[in-house]
Chain A
C-alpha cells in the first residue's frame, strides 16, 4: 500500500494520540499495564487507521468483517483507545476503564463493547480462538481475515504451540498473527525468565510463514500485513520488534512498567513528552 507523506503524518499523529489516551486512561484507572499498550500503539494505528482492516465501526458485528483477536488481554487499553478513536464507541468512555459498571473491563469481556470479539486475560487463549475462527471461515469459504495480536511472554504457554501446530497442519492462510516482541514480562526480560528464541525458526518449523519487522515503522507494518495477505497455504506470524513503553522515555525498556500505571506526576511527564513529539506546545500537557 502506498502511503502519502500526508497520510503517514496523520498516522503518526494518531499513534501519539493513542499513547496519550492510554496514559490518561491508566491515570484515571489508577491501575493497569503501561509498557505493552504504548509499545503496540503503532501496530494498532496501522491496523485501524490505514484502511487495511475490513471493519465497520457503525456495524461492529457485520458478518463479513475481518476479526481482530487480542490474545494478550492486558494490553487492552491500546485496543480500547484505537476502537474509540476509530468510532466504535464514544471517546469519553475511555475514562471509565476498570471502573464499576464500565464496558471497558480491566481485561476485555466479549459481547459488551463494540469491536471486542473475544474475552481475554489468561494468556494464549486468543491464539486458539483465532485459529478456530480462521478454520471456520475456511470451512464456509469466507473471505474475511483473522488477525491475532499476541504477546511474546505468552509464547511460554503450551496452548500457544497447540494452536500453532493446528494452524500449520491446516495451512490457514487467512490467519495473521502480530506478535509484540518487546522482550519483557512481569518478572523481567523474556530471555532471562524463559528464553523464547529462536522464535522465527520455531514458527517456521510449525509450518508458518514468518516476517520480522520494526513494530514502530507504520509503513513497514502495513506492508507486512499486505504481504501476509498474499501468502498462500501458510499462516503468517509477523514478529513486531517493539520497545516496551515506546514514546515515554522513563518507561522504555523497563520491565517494572509492564504491569504498572503512572501516578499524576509521572502521567504529566509522559503526556508532556508525547505531546512534544507530536509538535504541540509543551505547556499544553501541564
Chain B
C-alpha cells in the first residue's frame, strides 16, 4: 500500500501520469539555488541545452561559465572557483563527467573537499538512440568509491529539483545523476527530501524492492501487480547512494527477509552492490539485482532497451518471485 505520509503523486498509477525529464528538475533547481545564493555558479562543457544548465545561463549570464569541450579543465576550474568561495555546479553527460574527468574529481575536488557539485546527465541505458558510448552506466560505481563525495540519483523531476537545492546548501562535494527522457512524476512538492534519508514509497512485508532513479516507477507498477497475486512488496526510494540510509535498509531486510535492487546502471558496483555491502555486514538476506549485467548498451527506444536489458516491470516481478523462493 502506498505510503500516504509521503504525499506522493495521486496520479502515480494513471496511464497518463505526467512525465518530465529529471534533467528539467535540475535546470529549475539550479535557477532556484542561484536565486537563493549568489555564490552559485554553473559550468558546462558545450551541451548547456542538453544538461539544462542553459536555464541558469539565461537567468544569470554572468555566473555561467562555458568551458568548451574540456571536461578535465571544467572540473579543475570548479575546484579553483570553490576555493575562491563560489558554489560551482559542473554539468555534462555522465559518461564524460565523472567518466572522463575522474582523476580531477578525485584529487582536485574530493581530496581537497572542495565545495563542488558534479552532475552527470544522460545516465542509464534509457538515454536511448545515442547508443552505448553515451549511456552512463558506470557513474555510481566510480563516484561512490571516492571519500568525501555524496552520491544522489533522484527519481523524478520534482525530486531532482529538491536534490539540486539540497546539494547547493550542503557543504562539500556532491554528485547528482540525471536521465535524458521524460519519466513519470512520482512525488509532489510536498514529498520530503533529505540527503541520506531513504523514502518508503510503498509498505509491504514479503519483499523489499529498493531502487533509485526513474526505474522506481517500474518497481511501483510491479508491486501493484504482485499485490494482486498476494505478494506485498515494500518499495524504497533510495535516492542517496552515499551516505546510505542504513537504518531504513536494515529495517526493510528485517521486516521482509528478501531484497530486489533496481537501477539503470551496471549491477557491478552500483547502488545494489552498496545495499549488499550494508546487508552483508548487518543483516544478510537473499538479494536479486536488476540493472545492466556487465554489458554495454546499444541504440534503441528507451523503453525497448529497458525491456531488452531486463530492467522492466516484468523482470522486476520475476526477480521478486525468485528472491522470495530463496527465503528459507
Contact = CB atoms under 8 A, between A and B. Distances in A.
Interface of A: 63, 67, 69, 109-111, 117-122, 125, 127-137, 139-140, 142, 158-159, 162-163, 165-166
B68 interface: yes
**9 nearest A-B pairs in the assembled complex, by CB-CB distance:** A128-B76, A132-B80, A136-B84, A162-B73, A132-B77, A162-B70, A110-B112, A129-B80, A133-B80
A125 B107 contact: yes
A-side interface mostly: helix
A122 B77 contact: no
Contacts of A132: 76-84
B107 A122 contact: yes
Contact of A133 (B72, B83, B103): B83
A119 B111 contact: yes
Given A110-B111, A111-B112, A132-B78, A159 B104 contact: yes
A142 B81 CA distance: 13
A166 B68 contact: yes
B79 A131 contact: no
Contacts of B84: 132-133, 136-137, 140, 142
Given A118-B83, A122-B103, A135 B77 contact: yes
A131 B80 contact: yes
Given A121-B107, A136-B86, A129 B73 contact: no
Interface in B219-275: none
A159 B76 contact: yes
A128 B81 CA distance: 10
A63 B63 CA distance: 20
Contacts of B112: 109-111, 118-119
B82 to A, nearest CB: 8
14 contacts: A109-B111, A110-B114, A118-B83, A125-B104, A128-B80, A129-B108, A132-B82, A135-B77, A136-B41, A136-B81, A139-B62, A139-B86, A159-B76, A162-B73
Interface footprint category on B? 20 to 34
Contacts of A135: 65, 77, 80-81
B67 interface: yes
A69 to B, nearest CB: 8
Contacts of B41: 136, 139
Contacts of B114: 110
Contacts of A67: 83
A166 B75 CA distance: 13
B83 A117 contact: yes
Nearest to B43: A132
A136 B40 CA distance: 12
B86 A128 contact: no
Contact of A128 (B63, B75, B82, B113): B75
Nearest to B73: A162
Nearest to A159: B72
Nearest to A117: B83
Nearest to B110: A119
